[in-house]
Structure formats: structure tokens, C-alpha cells
Amino acid sequence: MPIVTLFFDVEDPLAPNSDDAALRVCQLLAAEGLTATMCVTGEKARKLRERARRDVIEALKSHSLGLHTNTHSVHPTTMEAVEDLSWEQGVEAIRKSEEPGLASFEEVFGRMPCCWAGAGNTWAPHVLGWLVTTPIKAWAYSLLTPPGGEPHRVNGLCGFPQHGAISEDDYASPESRATALDRIRALCSSKLEWVGVFLGHPTRYVHRAFWDAAYYGGLNPTGEIPLPEERPQAEREALFEGLEELLPKIAELGPVLPLDEVLALPWDWVPMGAGAMRHTRESATKRIAQAAKWPVHRPHLRVESLLAPLEAALEGLEIGRLRR
């Protein structure tokens, strides 16, 4: 059986009831004795402190914690910030963007994040140039996935892909839950030694749409930002109950470990062969191009400038294998 890591993105800074949703998710995990990896934005951490939600902060601290960028969808986003910049300029742009989030994260949670996780499954090679200057030694939702889907390492930084996901609406009915579980079961029946499973955004358990719709199309909103439509109470409960039902079933598929514990496992790092490197390069190119189409981004983001440093980022890429 593979090792399984569960991921949640805790990012909504606008709606106070999203704080309660994050707490509820933590309580459901605790009831099953499971530790997940919670990817929290710097802005969300600041809002939790501002709203005096010490209960939510403490609940999140019982899990592995990643920095889900500083401000997520506020423009310029990660990819927008480095567009048309040189490598050095791009790394500096990432530093200016992310260091305030890193500082807030440490102030609120009292520790450094175990990983950096891109917003909206976006990423730019310049992120790695910044990460090597920080105590963070991993990034999640990696777009540099090798053909075998393994964890990977470059320049001392470990990348962990997202293999599978269960969306919030998948929890709604027995049929959708069964279909989602079958997807994860198939992944755990493969040759993967480690499987990363994304289980959703707590805010979407209580809202029908994402909180950041006002940022779509590359513009920061002005004035009061409208909150997304809330789900009726019965609909919310159905989703939380669906998560509660699925958690023990997922736990049966393999030992569930948070990312900080996965990082501490004995990994052997093997140089990637030419064929695997070619596959990874082609796959990463497609994934970055797709990530540029995230609805939050401004139209016509120039993907070529984001791809220019990719070759250097791939140099020395290694595949991770657990030492048996």
C-alpha cells in the first residue's frame, strides 16, 4: 500500500464562516485520527489573527502546514509577477510577493511552513529560485511530475505532485462519493509509493462558488467585494457528512502521513534518465500553459516568458524512491 497525504487549501480571507468550515474539517479529521496537510495563505493567516480565531489557528496547527502563497488571487499573481522578467528579476519579484506571507505565517502559527503550494495549481520556475533561500524545502502541487508520478528533487528542493482530487461537490451524494473513492482507490492500487490526494477547500463546503470570482480576468476589485452565494444548511451538512464518510475509507487505502512526516522518510534520489526528462519537460510545458489559463489571470498571459527558465529548473532533477 502507498503512503497517502491528504491536502486541503485554506485560503478564503473574505467570508468569516469559511473559518468555521476550516475548523469543522479539522474536527472531522481529528475524529478519525488523521493528520492532513493544510495549505494556508498568508492573507488567511492574517485574517484569522485579526478575527481572533485562536480556535481555528490551534486546530490548523495540529496538521502539517504549507504556505499557499501570500495573497492567492490578488494581482499580480505568481505567474503574472514574473512575466517577461529575467531569472534574477523574477526571483526577486517572487521574494517581494511571498516573504510577507512567510512572515505572517510564522507569526500566526509559530513555525515555518513545510512546503509552498501554488494558488490555482499555478507555478513558475522562479519560485524555486526563491525557495532555496528560505527554510522551506518542498513545494506541493508540482507541475514537474515525472512519468511515474514520483516525488522529485532539484537543487535540494522536493516536489510533490497532486495525483488525485475529490471536489467539494463529489461529497454530495452516495453515487458521487463512490465514483470519487474509486478514482483514489485506483491510484492507490498503482505502483506509486506515495499518493497526494486533494480533498478540497473548506470555504466551498459552505459556499457554492469560489471566494475570488471578483479577481477573475486580471483585475483587482475596487470597493466592497461581494461574498459568494452560501449553500443552504442542508446542503452544507450533506457535504460535511460526505467527507466524514469518505475519510475512513481513504485511510484504508494506505497509511496517511502529513507532508512534513513524508519529507522525513528515508528517500533515495535517483538521477532522471533522458527519456524521463524529455517526458517531464513536455508535460511541464503543457501544465504551465494550462495553468496560465486560470480564470483569475489576465487574458493573454505570455506563457513563453514563463517557460524560458524551465530548462534550468529541470537541470539535475531526481526521482524519489523510498528506501526499503
Instruction: Give the pLDDT of residue 294.
Output: 97
Instruction: Give the pLDDT of residue 53.
Output: 98
φ, ψ dihedrals at 217, nearest 5°: 85, 10
In 110-153, which ranges are continuous DSSP H helix? Answer: 126-131
Count helices and strands in the chain by DSSP H and E runs: 13, 11
Looking at the DSSP bridge assignments, the partners of residue 268 are 321
Instruction: Give the pLDDT of residue 313.
Output: 84
**What are the residue ranges in the chain where pLDDT is below 70?**
none
Q: What is the total residue count of the chain? A: 324
Whether the Cβ atoms of residue 203 and residue 11 lie closer than 8 Å to each other: yes
Whether the Cβ atoms of residue 90 and residue 309 lie closer than 8 Å to each other: yes
Whether the Cβ atoms of residue 11 and residue 65 lie closer than 8 Å to each other: no
Instruction: Give the pLDDT of residue 312.
Output: 84
Nearest to 201 by CA among 238, 239, 234: 239
Any idea where the domains of the chain sit in the sequence? 3-322
Does residue 23 come out as left (phi exceeding 0), alpha (psi in the -120 to 50 range) or beta?
alpha
Q: Strand order of the sheet with strand 138-140?
A: 164-165, 194-198, 3-10, 37-40, 64-67, 115-117, 138-140, 157-160, 152-154, 318-322, 267-271
> CATH class for domain 3-322?
alpha beta
Element (H, E) at 196: strand 194-198
Q: Which whole-number Å values give the CA distances from 234 to 22, 24, 204, 231, in the listed order?
A: 18, 15, 14, 8
Taking only the tens place, the pLDDT of each residue in 136-149 is 999 999 999 899 99
